[in-house]
């Protein structure tokens, strides 16, 4: 997996996503099917996974009830395919993100000389990039984060969703691992697990306290401290 690179892993996951519901044979049918899945995702964000019912999804999508039952024989298929669509879109987004981030990191590495001062500057830059990502997620992709949290919770009792959640986590972990490997972490896999856990907690707390803007200074301070600890050992 490491040899594929972060973007390669994200792309591979996107291409491997398997849908459970009835396949659409025409472009118009596929468009309606995606409208139904998008409607299910909006309901998940608003009401949670338990709010997803055929009648509610049909109303949200503005389609006949028969359309949802035609494509999805039961709620489990509908939920699974809604999250599959989420994972596919997320993988596409992350593939582009990792490609751009790796380019920036390699440019930063080329500017350094390996001295302690240079490493400290690198740690600051990586922390800033990571903090910008967290703030961007919270400010512009809140609905995506809400859906992800809801599906993660449901995955604890739904094996189909558990497989998709693991695929999504693999993208996040490998991308972070690749980033840390580029900047010289001695244990990129272990450091990536810690960093993704930190980011996950930050996102969750921001969603939990949605009425209060995230403390960007604190976010940057925490990530800066962590990156200095990681790169101090290189």
d(CA 124, CA 118): 10
**Region of 158 on the Ramachandran plot (φ > 0 left; ψ -120 to 50 alpha; else beta):** beta
What pLDDT band is residue 118 in, cutting at 50, 70 and 90? very high
- pLDDT on residue 88: 86
What pLDDT band is residue 232 in, cutting at 50, 70 and 90? confident
Render 22-84 in DSSP notation, one character per residue: PPP-SHHHHHHHHHHHHHHHHHHHHH-GGG--HHHHHHHHTS-HHHHHHH-SSHHHHHHHHHH
81 has a pLDDT exceeding 70: yes
Q: Evaluate whether the domain defined by 2-17+89-232 bears CATH number 1.10.357.10.
A: yes
- CATH 1.10.357.10 residue ranges of the chain are 2-17+89-232
Rg for the chain, CA atoms, rounded: 20
What pLDDT band is residue 105 in, cutting at 50, 70 and 90? very high
The predicted model gives 3-23 an average pLDDT of 67
- CATH 1.10.10.60 residue ranges of the chain are 22-72
Q: Which residue has the tokens 């001695």?
A: 186
d(CA 140, CA 194): 24
- pLDDT on residue 211: 66
The DSSP H or E segment spanning 215 is none
Q: What is the pLDDT of residues 181-207, one digit of tens each?
A: 999 999 999 999 999 999 999 999 999
- pLDDT on residue 28: 66
d(CA 222, CA 226): 6
pTM of the model: 0.86
145 has a pLDDT exceeding 90: yes
52 has a pLDDT exceeding 60: yes
- Specify burial of residue 194 (Cβ count, 10 A radius: 0-12, 13-18, 19+): middle
**Paired tokens of 98:** 């990792």
Q: List CB contacts of 222: < 8 A, sequence separation 6 or more.
A: 198, 202
d(CA 198, CA 90): 19
Architecture of domain 22-72: Orthogonal Bundle (1.10)
The predicted model gives 133-148 an average pLDDT of 93
């Amino acid at each position: 997996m490491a040899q594929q690179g972060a973007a390669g892993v994200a792309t591979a996951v996107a291409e491997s996503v398997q849908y459970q519901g009835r396949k659409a044979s025409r472009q118009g049918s596929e468009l309606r099917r995606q409208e139904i899945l998008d409607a299910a995702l909006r309901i998940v964000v608003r009401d949670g996974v338990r709010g997803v019912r055929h009648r509610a999804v049909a109303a949200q999508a503005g389609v006949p009830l028969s359309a949802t039952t035609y494509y999805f024989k039961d709620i489990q298929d509908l939920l699974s395919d809604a999250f599959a669509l989420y994972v596919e879109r997320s993988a596409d987004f992350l593939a582009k993100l990792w490609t751009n981030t790796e380019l920036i990191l390699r440019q930063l590495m080329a500017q350094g000389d390996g001295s302690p001062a240079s490493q400290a500057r690198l740690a600051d830059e990586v922390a800033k990039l990571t903090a910008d990502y967290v703030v961007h997620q919270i400010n512009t992709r809140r609905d995506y984060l809400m859906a992800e949290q809801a599906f993660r919770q449901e995955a604890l009792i739904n094996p189909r969703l558990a497989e998709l959640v693991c695929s999504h986590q693999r993208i996040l972990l490998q991308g972070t691992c690749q980033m840390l490997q580029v900047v010289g972490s001695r244990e990129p896999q272990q450091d990536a697990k810690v960093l993704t856990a930190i980011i996950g907690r930050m996102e969750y707390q921001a969603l939990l306290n949605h009425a209060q803007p995230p403390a960007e200074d604190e976010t940057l301070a925490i990530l800066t401290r962590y990156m200095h600890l990681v790169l101090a050992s290189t």
